[in-house]
Structures are given as C-alpha cells and as structure tokens.
Structure 1
Amino acid sequence: MAQNHICELCNRNVSSITKHHLIPLEKGGEKFKTLSLCSTCHRQIHALFTNRELATHYRSLESLKKDIKIVKFLKFIQNIPGDSYLDIKKSRHVRKSC
C-alpha cells in the first residue's frame, strides 16, 4: 500500500515526497532546514528561481508562499490531484542564468 504524504507547499496528498534544501546545496545548504515537497512543487521552485535567489530571498516556507509567482502556481494546482504529472518549464530568467 502506498504511503501518503502532504506537500508542505501545496498541501496536496501525494504518494512520494522530495526534500528541498531551503539553502541550495551548492550554496552550503547541507546543514540547513529542508522542506518536504511533492515533485511538482519542487520542480516549479527550481524552474522559477536561481539557486542564488533561493539562498538570498527564499530561505523559508513563508517567504516562498508570499512570492506572487508561487501564489499563482498554487492557485493553479490546488484542484489537480497530487500525483498528476505536470510538465514544468524553466522560466527564461532561470534558463539565462545557467
């Protein structure tokens, strides 16, 4: 039987969870807090923000939830089942920084 988890960002019920480092590993985040996120939310965060932005501006669940792009995303996915696969594309802003 599949174990159920709740994503800390979208609060949807999902069968598996990922760990999101609030301070990205490449910025020294291995010893800092992580969030338990569904893969869709995790991919969306990294599609919207660079690791530098995450380390500087989005160091908490509250700061992520206040960002207008995340607010719009959460409103979009609120009625989509947690284990549905959504194709997430990196924003132009993030693609340029790679």
Structure 2
Amino acid sequence: MNKETHICDLCERKVPRITEHHLIPREKGGRFDETIWLCVPCHKQVHALYSNYELAVRLNSLPRLKDDEKIKRYLKFIKKQPGDANVTIKKSKAIRKKGRY
C-alpha cells in the first residue's frame, strides 16, 4: 500500500500529515492567504514556544521563523527524527507563565 507523504515547510521532512499554520494568527488579524504547511510536531512546537502576539509581530514569515534561535535548536533535533515519529512537545516557561497572548 502506498502511503501519501507531504513535506513540512519548516523542518522539510517527509511526513504523513501536515497542518495549515497562519503566519499571522487569525485572532491577530491574519488572513487565509498568509499560511504555511507544517507537520504536527512543528506546528505544536511553534505555538509552544511563542505567543500569538510574538508570532504576529516578529515571526510572521517563514524565513523569520526559521532564523529564530529557539526554532533553530528545535530544527536541529527534529530533522534527525523520522517523519512518523511521535514527538513530545512542551510549552516554554515563558508561554506557561504568560499564557498564549
């Protein structure tokens, strides 16, 4: 049986499932045409590390996101994992303390 695979825009791995990520969160005024496709672990990691405000103001493009130090460390790890790996994501201390907004 041939399984369908996709490429994550952030980690560039072949993965079985991708999700749509709004570069500017919808609650912060983002539109549907400002999106990228991320695997589930990458999408969860982005929202675990950054508030929606920070994503809207500072990390609102794929190059900016890829250039951030926290994501660089994460990408170094995730690129070594198989595309179908079950990866545990923890919220950063700042996000746990402040919440998402």
TM-score by length of 2: 0.92
Contact 1:9 1:41 in 2 (8 A): yes
Worse-matched range after superposition: 64-73 or 28-37: 28-37
Larger helix share, 1 or 2: 1
Worse-matched range after superposition: 43-52 or 88-97: 88-97
Letter in 1 for 2:58: H
- Give, in angstroms, the shift of residue 31 of structure 1: 3.5
- Give, in angstroms, the shift of residue 82 of structure 1: 1.1
Displacement over 2 Å in runs of 4+: none
Give the 5 Å matches for 1:45-84.
45-84=46-85
Letter in 1 for 2:57: T
Sequence identity of aligned pairs in percent? Answer: 52
> Which residue number corresponds to residue 39 of structure 1?
40
| Count of paired positions | 98
Contact 1:44 1:88 in 2 (8 A): yes
Unaligned runs of 5+ in 1: none
> Which residue number corresponds to residue 3 of structure 2?
2
Contact 1:49 1:94 in 2 (8 A): yes
- Give, in angstroms, the shift of residue 28 of structure 1: 1.4
Unaligned runs of 5+ in 2: none
**In 1, distance between residues paired with 2:41 and 2:5?**
16
TM-score by length of 1: 0.94
Cα deviations across residues 7-60 of structure 1 (Å, max 9, x unaligned)? 000000001100000001111113441010000000000010000000000110
